[in-house]
């Protein structure tokens, strides 16, 4: 039996199909926090000050308004997955616009329905910002490089599961649906990725256990 939230979403989708654009605003608002975490993780940290997560979300909403009929052409896809795809495509466009001519490995291949894959540089920047605050720019840059190199060596699907579960805080079932894999496989990969992340952090100065502690 559908939950109350699921029933409300079905009702909003019915309104949207009938042409009520305010329904899209309500649906987008329901997922805004999740989509914001997605953008904050995947937006190139070098664009800070030029592009904000709010900018990307606003532009994505406008794009979603233009492409609603595309969703209803394939109504079996999860609406959240469709929104993530719209946001992911906008992120890719933003990166191309600001990094013209530069290779962007994190955006070359999308995984599942969720838009561009998690980029090791973006994940490293997120870890730096959330877990440590080196006092000198040189130290910060060195730590960032070490983290990026280590994360880039992870299996891309494991890295994506880690991004979705740990950084974007999605459920295991949502993660599995977005990536097109079984929930059991997603759970196994998440445990493996967390263990690998722990190993990586223990080898990075400033992240591992304090000496003598």
Q: Work out the percent of the chain whose per-residue pLDDT is above 70.
A: 82
Question: Do 44 and 66 meet the contact criterion of CB atoms below 8 Å apart?
Answer: no
Average pLDDT (29-43) is 93
Average pLDDT (130-150) is 73
Q: Tell me which of 112 and 52 has the higher pLDDT.
A: 52
Question: Whole-model pTM?
Answer: 0.79
Instruction: Share the mean pLDDT of the chain.
Output: 83
Only one residue has tokens 């926090």, namely: 33
Predicted local distance difference test score (pLDDT) of residue 144: 85
Question: Do 151 and 123 meet the contact criterion of CB atoms below 8 Å apart?
Answer: yes
- For residue 211 the two structure tokens come to 């000496």
Residue 88 — pLDDT band, cuts 50, 70, 90?
A: very high
Question: Do 196 and 158 meet the contact criterion of CB atoms below 8 Å apart?
Answer: yes
Given a cut of 90, whether residue 212 has pLDDT beyond it is no
What are the extents of the domains in the chain? 4-108, 120-202
**DSSP 3-state of 209:** coil
Question: Do 139 and 98 meet the contact criterion of CB atoms below 8 Å apart?
Answer: no
Helices 4-17 and 21-42: crossing angle, nearest 10°? 110
75 strand-pairing partners: none
DSSP codes joined into one string, 153-183: TS-HHHHHHHIIIIIS---HHHHHHHHTS-H
Residue 112 — pLDDT band, cuts 50, 70, 90?
A: very low
- Nearest to residue 105, comparing CAs of 174, 172, 151, 168? 151
Predicted local distance difference test score (pLDDT) of residue 6: 83
Only one residue has tokens 């997922």, namely: 31
Neighbouring residues of 50: CB distance < 8 A, sequence distance ≥ 6: 98
- Nearest to residue 37, comparing CAs of 75, 84, 95? 84
Question: Do 36 and 57 meet the contact criterion of CB atoms below 8 Å apart?
Answer: yes
Task: Encode pLDDT of 148-191 as tens digits.
Answer: 888 888 899 999 999 999 999 999 999 999 898 999 999 999 99
Q: Is 169 left (phi over 0), alpha (psi -120 to 50) or beta?
A: left
Residue 2 — pLDDT band, cuts 50, 70, 90?
A: low
Predicted local distance difference test score (pLDDT) of residue 48: 77
CATH code of the region 120-202: 1.10.10.10
Residue 136 — pLDDT band, cuts 50, 70, 90?
A: low
Average pLDDT (123-152) is 76
What is the topology classification, in CATH, of domain 4-108? Rna Polymerase Sigma Factor; Chain: A (1.10.1740)
């Amino acid at each position: 039996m559908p939950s109350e939230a699921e029933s409300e979403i079905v009702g909003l989708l019915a309104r949207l199909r009938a042409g009520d654009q305010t329904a899209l605003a309500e649906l987008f608002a329901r997922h805004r926090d999740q989509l914001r975490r997605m953008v904050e993780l995947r937006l190139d940290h070098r664009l800070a000050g030029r592009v904000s997560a709010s900018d990307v979300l606003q532009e994505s909403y406008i794009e979603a308004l233009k492409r609603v009929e595309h969703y209803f052409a394939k109504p079996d896809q999860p609406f959240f997955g469709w929104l993530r795809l719209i946001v992911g495509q906008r992120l890719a466009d933003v990166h191309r616009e600001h990094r013209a001519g530069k290779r962007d490995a994190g955006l070359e291949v999308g995984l599942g329905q969720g838009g561009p894959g998690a980029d090791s540089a973006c994940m490293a920047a997120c870890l730096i910002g959330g877990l440590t605050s080196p006092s000198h720019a040189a130290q910060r840059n060195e730590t960032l490089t070490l983290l990026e190199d280590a994360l880039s060596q992870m299996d891309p699907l494991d890295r994506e599961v880690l991004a979705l579960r740990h950084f974007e805080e999605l459920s295991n079932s949502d993660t599995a649906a977005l990536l097109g894999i079984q929930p059991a496989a997603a759970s196994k990969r998440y445990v493996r990725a967390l263990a690998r992340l722990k190993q990586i952090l223990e080898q990075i100065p400033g992240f591992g256990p304090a000496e003598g502690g």
